[in-house]
Amino acid sequence: MRRRRRRSRADGGGVRYTVRLRVDRFDLATRVAGLESDYEIADALGVHRSTVGRVLADELRPGPVFIAGALSAFRMMSFADLFEVVEDR
């Protein structure tokens, strides 16, 4: 899937940002929720199992469905608990 990127300056430069999963905190949330496998996590988040594996391996950035699913499944955690905004390189 191709993503459209916004540029902050007229000359095409500028810093771009993306969202990255805080794997350690996500792992804690899954353990507290009693989710033991990628299949169980995927079911709780409403995404495919391979998406969970790829996000955890930092091969894929979490998209809106993953983020919304995580915030719904782990209501005790906030966006800032589970995710961080970083420069996109």
| Residues 6+ away with beta carbon under 8 Å from 10 | none
Q: What is the pLDDT of residue 4?
A: 59
Q: What is the pLDDT of residue 20?
A: 96
Q: What is the pLDDT of residue 15?
A: 87
Instruction: Tell me the three state secondary structure of residue 42.
Output: helix
CA–chain centroid gap for 55, Å, is: 6
For the chain, the domains span 18-77
CA nearest to 55, candidates 40, 44, 43, 42: 42
Into which CATH architecture does domain 18-77 fall?
A: Orthogonal Bundle (1.10)
pLDDT in tens, the chain (89 residues): 555 555 555 555 688 999 999 999 999 999 999 999 999 999 999 999 999 999 999 999 999 999 999 999 999 999 999 999 999 87
